[in-house]
Every structure is written in C-alpha cells, then in structure tokens.
C-alpha cells in the first residue's frame, strides 16, 4: 500500500518493546519488497553499536533514525545519513537540535519525560522558520482528520505518521493510509 501511495520513506522500528517492532528477518523481507522504491529508514532507541551495524549489514537501510539519548558522535559513526528525533514536550528542544548539526533531518515529535515517541499525541504546533522547515519532519498525533491543519499551521514539508494510520496499535490500516495521503495532497 505504501508503494501504491508513493510515500517517500518507510520506517522499520528496531525497538523491542514497541508494538511496531520488526525483527531482522522481517526487515530483510520488507527491504526486498521495497526494492528502493521508498527510502528505507531504520528506527532505534538507544541501541548498541552492534545492533545498528547488524541492521545496516543485513537490511541495508538508506537512513538511520534515532529516538533516544544518542549523541552526535554515536549517530555519525555509521556512515549513513541520520535523522534525530527531537522531544518537543521538553523545554530544551532547540538545544537538542544544536547538539546534532550533522543530522540530515529532525523528527519533531511529541515526547519527553522519558518516552521515545509513538504515542499518537501531538504537541503545540507553531509555524516553522525557513531554516527549520527545510530539515524538520513533523510527527506526533498526525491523523487524516488533522494533517491538513498541521501542515497549514507549521508549513511542514515532511511528515511522519504511524499510530494515526493504524486500525489498532501496531497494525496499519490501508483505508487510513489512503485518507492520510489524500488529505496531504489536498494541501499541496
């Protein structure tokens, strides 16, 4: 369905306690099906170096996405572009961005206080500066019924959706995926 909808990227979650967790073997199969039609993103929360290297070797993602307390040195050591999740519910989100100048993108997500995202909760949207807009991926609480408003309020050029297109926790809905993409395209 993601390919039919011509999405730019597909995320594979390598976080064991997530309802969206995929194993290495599942990820290998999904990567084969993907055939580089969409950017393949491997998502981690405070992984070991060995875990990231194994995913890179076996799955061959295009991008690494870090949602934990990983520092820039950790994220840069793998030789792949990386996206860093920024906790928008923390007061210091600007500082978090400054700590990762090498990140290709910043996933602005509604988490903080020990969570790592994926809750389906949004943050207070604001209009992104031109500098932020060029590298920001809006995440957190996006659904078909609010994505147009989110784009209008923020000016976001990139979106990350997960729970907002699920029929139940961890299970994507083709119908919600189609509705989401339709709403995004109506805003363009």
Q: What is the pLDDT of residues 9-53, one digit of tens each?
A: 999 999 999 999 999 999 999 999 998 899 999 999 999 999 999
Task: Say how far apart CA 1 and CA 69 lie, in whole Å.
Answer: 33
The count of domains in the chain is 1
Q: Chain-wide mean pLDDT for the chain?
A: 91
Q: What is the mean pLDDT of residues 99-111?
A: 91
Tell me, yes or no, whether 27 lies in a domain: yes
Q: What is the pLDDT of residues 117-149, one digit of tens each?
A: 444 556 778 889 998 999 999 998 899 999 999
Tell me, yes or no, whether 1 lies in a domain: no
- At CA 13, angle to CA 12 and CA 16, rounded to 5? 145
Long-range contacts of 61-68 (CB under 8 A, 24+ apart): 61/12, 61/31, 62/9, 62/36, 63/9, 63/39, 63/104, 65/11, 65/41, 65/107, 67/15, 67/43, 67/107, 67/109, 67/111, 67/116, 67/117, 68/44, 68/116
pLDDT at 36: 82
pLDDT at 111: 61
Residue 67 sits in a domain of what CATH number? 3.20.20.70
Whole-structure pTM value: 0.90
Domain extent for 152: 9-187
Tell me, yes or no, whether 62 lies in a domain: yes
pLDDT at 188: 73
Tell me, yes or no, whether 17 lies in a domain: yes
């Amino acid at each position: 369905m993601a390919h039919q909808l011509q999405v730019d990227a597909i995320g594979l979650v390598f976080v064991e306690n997530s309802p969206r967790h995929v194993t290495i073997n599942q990820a290998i199969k999904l990567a084969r099906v993907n055939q580089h039609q969409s950017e393949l993103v491997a998502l981690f929360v405070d992984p070991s170096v060995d875990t990231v290297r194994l995913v890179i070797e076996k799955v061959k993602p295009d991008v690494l996405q870090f949602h934990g307390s990983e520092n820039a040195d950790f994220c840069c050591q793998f030789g792949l572009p990386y996206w860093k999740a920024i906790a928008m519910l923390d007061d210091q989100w600007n500082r978090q961005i400054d700590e990762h100048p090498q990140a290709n993108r910043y996933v602005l997500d509604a988490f903080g206080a020990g969570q790592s995202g994926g809750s389906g909760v949004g943050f207070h949207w604001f209009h992104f500066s031109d500098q932020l807009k060029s590298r920001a991926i809006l995440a957190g609480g996006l659904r078909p019924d609010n994505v147009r408003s989110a784009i209008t309020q923020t000016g976001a050029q990139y979106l990350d959706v997960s729970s907002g297109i699920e029929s139940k926790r961890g299970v994507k809905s083709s119908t919600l995926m189609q509705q989401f993409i339709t709403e995004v395209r109506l805003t363009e």
